[in-house]
Homo-oligomer: A and B are copies of this chain.
Amino acid sequence: MTLSIYLSGEIHTDWRDQIQEGASATDLDVTFTAPVTHHAASDDCGVAILGAEPNKFWHDHKGAKLNAIRTRTAIEAADIVVVRFGDKYRQWNAAFDAGYAAALGTPLIVIHSAENAHALKEVDAAALAVAETPEQVVAMLRYVIDGKLDGYTDKRDAAE
């Protein structure tokens, strides 16, 4: 079972790399997609290609729509959407992506620290798993895809 995983949300830490390296280390049969994480390119892509806008709103608008071609295509193609909320910034686009995935019925994994749990309770309620670290996401992907769980599947099934 090959899965396509979309990694949405926070762009200021290396959590995507951690998940991809973890997945690679355990030979998972997955592909990862993500938004463009170069902050300046993401902000300016619309005007850089399609022409400058004196009004900041339309500057942002052109860029956000161009980014949407990438992000929506990738979310709609994903088997699992992972959304990470960092401890800074409002990250409304992360919550937007979570809602988008929920409406599509795509399995959703959320990553955030315990302190944001109350504020994210509606998002968590739509998720199939709520993690705190990238390592947990790798362990879940390994279990979901390869059926492997340390301390269990490396032993005889005591339940049998």
Contact = CB atoms under 8 A, between A and B. Distances in A.
Interface in A109-143: 109, 117-126, 128-131, 136, 139-140, 143
Interface of A: 1, 3, 12, 33, 36-41, 43-46, 48-50, 53, 55-58, 60-74, 77, 79-80, 85, 89-105, 107, 109, 117-126, 128-131, 136, 139-140, 143-145, 147, 149-153, 157-160
A113 B120 CA distance: 23
B107 A105 contact: no
Nearest to A60: B121
Contacts of A120: 92
A153 B92 contact: no
Contact of A64 (B61, B124, B131): B124
B107 A68 contact: yes
Contact of A43 (B37, B96, B159): B159
A118 to B, nearest CB: 6
Given A56-B117, A69-B107, A100-B102, A136 B38 contact: no
Contacts of A71: 122
A25 to B, nearest CB: 16
A85 B79 contact: no
Contacts of A119: 89-90, 92
Contact of A95 (B95, B101, B149): B95
Nearest to A32: B1
A98 B66 CA distance: 17
